[in-house]
A and B are shown apart, each in its own frame.
Chain A
């Protein structure tokens, strides 16, 4: 039971980290900071515009796979993986 509680705590920390990144790339870079970032160029893209229409989506995909890999390790560490 003790182990399960720490497993859950570690999961919550990981989710928190992921959601911070999720928030920063979309709401942060794509919306709130879009104007200063638009001063920077990525080829023909203004950077803020790029995050809003491209970059945030790529980050979302990477985040889910990163979370999946981390959780699979965590499952093994606490011996709660499926048999």
Chain B
């Protein structure tokens, strides 16, 4: 066994052992432990757990790669996935914590005094969470197959087993404490290579500063200026100004991701685990600190990865890399099919240019950038092993949070809330565990047989959360008179408009050929791409809800009194059942 493989085994299985130990120590004994960790999590702990919960395989593996190739256009993800926490801290979290229930659908059903509203919320939650999990499961499979060279299927089974042990045993309590450990693993795994690379390129160990510094080669040229020059010379768009489909599209995209973030149930439910309303406010702050640690490093990782990639292939203008002299990482990734070369002009050198006719790097998958980065920069083997453990921590922690959101919405909202209200605490806990086991099996199955539309549905998850859940919650708190009928009408039309737009451009249920307007820029409404449409759905939701409320009259007085009550922190107890 070579050195890299040995280190990787130690890092991956060492971290798994740690998660098991924590799960055993923090196992759940009541429904309160299982759903809200007994309400005893401190804001800093909760912030870290939210960070790990939030930062998925997509944040860890894909985001820097997206930024590397989109340049300035990648800013929509950076601002969109962090700005939502400002909305959470001010508009939702403290009031929902004050109300003190276990789940998001439960809040919606209390506020809108309707089981129908609860069922709509449960459906949105399950669709949003399941589509997300498929991505995590794929991430686990890919990380295993690349780094440990086991079969993709085997990697997936191991991942399912690990999540099953600590999520089913520990519930929210076990998940929270495991996520704290996972956060530490993933943030080290992400920043250490970035520090090394920043030091190599600019002489500054802090990536956020390195990105704005001059190159260490003594030329005195700023890294970003050099990168702009290199990419424009080859015909690509300038890195620091390349915008993503125009200003309006970037605006709508950023806003959709922000309100989508604030509306995702697996994030909101974390705020039910803290002891007080004040702790709910500061949890959001700590969560964003821990998230920002990764999100402000990501632009440096992206830009530096692009810089290194360009420099490897075209060390200086006109002097391209000879294919037979390509480095080992190039060969490794060629084997996975994610990197492909085709010698179009037969000179044995690699031409990497924007022009599709002459470009010979026919495939450079964006997702490989973070994983290949340490190897491209010639970092030591233990750093590469750490990245593998970090990618797995990111995928597993998010999967566990989503599984809990699904199991609580089924066992607590559907079974206890609607179907079998007499369920005892002990039986509900058992039901929660059984549902979670089933959810792991379903998501594992979907990970093994990913539906063709998996990639598109993550955007749909944000669209759903942005156009249905966020407006419903916000009006529930800030529009005291908003009635149940109006809110349900708003949610349904918000989802309806968003789904219609996504389907008409991406195909019904993402089946190719069924899109009736085609996935073409010129057909987009005001040039807004389907992924960015959630904000329009949200506006429709607000408009319909206020109009219907005007016609059908305000919510009853006892509901308005309840709203008055959760607007002030005074008298909050621990999150409870009834």
Which of A's residues lie within 8 Å of B, judged by CB?
A: 4, 7-8, 11, 15, 18-19, 22, 26-27, 30-32, 34, 38, 42-46, 49-50, 52-54, 56-58, 60-61, 63-65, 67-68, 71-72, 75, 78-83
Contact = CB atoms under 8 A, between A and B. Distances in A.
Contacts of A78: 568
A15 B91 contact: yes
A49 B289 CA distance: 21
Contacts of B378: none
A74 B278 CA distance: 11
Interface in B65-112: 67, 72, 74-75, 78-79, 82-83, 85-86, 89-91, 94
Nearest to A43: B212
B213 A75 contact: no
B570 A80 contact: yes
A34 B242 CA distance: 12
23 contacts: A4-B564, A8-B567, A8-B568, A15-B91, A27-B254, A31-B251, A44-B224, A49-B72, A50-B212, A53-B296, A56-B79, A57-B82, A57-B295, A61-B289, A64-B89, A64-B288, A67-B281, A68-B89, A78-B568, A80-B570, A81-B570, A83-B570, A83-B571
Contacts, number: 140
Contacts of A68: 89, 278, 281-282, 285
B223 interface: yes
Nearest to A53: B299
Given A26-B83, A80-B569, A82-B571, 4 more contacts: A44-B224, A49-B241, A53-B299, A57-B79
Interface in B265-303: 276-278, 281-282, 284-285, 288-289, 292, 295-296, 299
Nearest to A72: B278
B282 A43 contact: no
Contacts of A7: 568
B569 A81 contact: yes
B296 A58 contact: yes
Q: Provide the main secondary structure of the chain A interface.
A: helix
B248 to A, nearest CB: 10
Closest 9 CB pairs of A and B: A44-B222, A52-B75, A64-B285, A43-B212, A53-B299, A80-B570, A45-B212, A44-B212, A80-B568
B208 interface: yes
Contacts of B569: 75, 80-82
Contacts of A49: 72, 75, 224, 240-241
Nearest to A71: B281
A67 B89 contact: yes
A19 B90 contact: yes
A60 B86 contact: yes
Which of B72, B254, B276 is packed against the most chain A CB atoms within 10 Å?
Answer: B72
A46 B239 CA distance: 11
B288 A60 contact: yes
A68 B570 CA distance: 16
B165 interface: no
B214 interface: yes
B251 A27 contact: yes
A82 B84 CA distance: 26
A63 B86 contact: yes
A15 B79 contact: no
Interface string B403-426: 000000000000000000000000
A8 B560 CA distance: 14
A63 B78 CA distance: 17
Given A31-B250, A44-B225, A52 B78 contact: yes
A32 B225 CA distance: 22
